[in-house]
A and B are shown apart, each in its own frame.
Chain A
């Protein structure tokens, strides 16, 4: 019984350690952040022109905050034309959000680039995190550069 309790305590302790860190190996600065959340670019598979590609955004709730699991997370693509010399991208829908655990979630955005180069996905990530004291609704504007072969 004591061994079982020790094992549970270790599992909980390990979970707590992971809780405040982003899952992705975020070498650079976050795409967006405030004191209570950060958004990092997740790992992405290679993207080929003319096919459906995916990019992932990793949301991490910081401090006492957790991801608001009831919120309808969305990525609303900017309808503007692509910058000169860059491939146009067609974003499919508003993305799909999956909760990893109380502190982390992944937004997967599907898009279709029409040419090779560096595709720029520009849009607003609508997100919410809560603590026991308050909830926050945020809508950071993000710009993602995706290499397209």
Chain B
């Protein structure tokens, strides 16, 4: 009887703590959405310091990155990240990829990242966050995990690159592929509030250290 009571108590506590949408899926959450973007200084692959606040007044996209993750590979070869950064940087957006993998973890090493830049023709910087402090400050959980920062320095989008969790753009939920970063940047360019501010990211877990 005591076991049954304990189990019931646990079930009630879990049910009370869980927020859910009308379709029964858990509500997507982000610790930084709607808040000022945490500032940081990280080194790029050439060892040069890149400071977020030096881009003040510009729209910025942060892309959590791991070149060893198959979801990142698919997103950059067939999915929603193919040439997306190039398109937006031409329009004046700052695009920064951040690798929060700890030393020894998948996709952390310099050679793999350098090779990915070449293979996927990336023109934006890849920043190294081996201690994981920036990733944790943004609540980055997956690769890819996207954040859009408006000109005022507020995080206006946090979540997945799109609504197709295969990374290939071939399994869009609801049947229509939505690139959430394209949509957020479109809203900002049109002077509108970002319609979808938070989604649940998919992909590999960020390979933090301890």
Chain A positions within 8 Å of B, measured between CB atoms, are 4, 7, 70-72, 74, 126, 128, 130, 132-137
Cβ of B109 under 8 Å from chain A:
no
B10-41 residues at the A interface, CB under 8 angstroms: none
Please indicate the chain A residues that have their CB under 8 angstroms from the CB of B69 in the complex: 134-135
| A99-B15 Cα distance, complex, nearest whole Å | 20
Q: How extensive is the interface on chain B, given as a class? A: 20 to 34
CA distance A84 to B178 in the complex (A): 42
5 additional A-B residue pairs with CB within 8 Å, beyond A130-B205, A133-B207, A135-B69: A70-B200, A71-B202, A72-B164, A126-B166, A137-B166
In the complex, the answer to whether B165 meets A71 with C-beta atoms within 8 Å is yes
Q: How far is the CB of A2 from chain B (nearest CB, A)?
A: 12
- CB-CB nearest in chain A for B69: A135
Interface: B71 (CB within 8 A): yes
Question: Which label, helix, strand, loop or mixed, suits the secondary structure of the B interface?
Answer: loop
Report yes or no: A135 in contact with B204, Cβ–Cβ below 8 A: yes
Enumerate chain A residues within 8 angstroms of B3, measured Cβ to Cβ. Answer: 4, 7
Q: In the complex, A27 Cα to B105 Cα: how many Å?
A: 38
Known contacts A71-B166, A72-B165; is A135 also within 8 Å of B71 by CB? yes
Q: Is B139 an interface residue (CB 8 A)?
A: no
Bound-state CA distance A71–B164 (Å) is 9
With A4-B6, A132-B205, A133-B105 already in contact, the answer to whether A72 and B171 are too (CB < 8 A) is yes
Evaluate contact between A137 and B204: CB separation under 8 angstroms.
no
Q: Give the 6 A-B residue pairs with the shortest CB-CB distance, closest first.
A: A72-B171, A135-B204, A137-B70, A70-B202, A72-B166, A134-B106
Min Cβ gap A118→B in Å is 31
State which of A4, A71, A133 has its C-beta within 8 Å of the C-beta of B2: A4
- Would you call B203 an interface residue if the criterion is a C-beta within 8 Å of the partner chain's C-beta atoms? yes
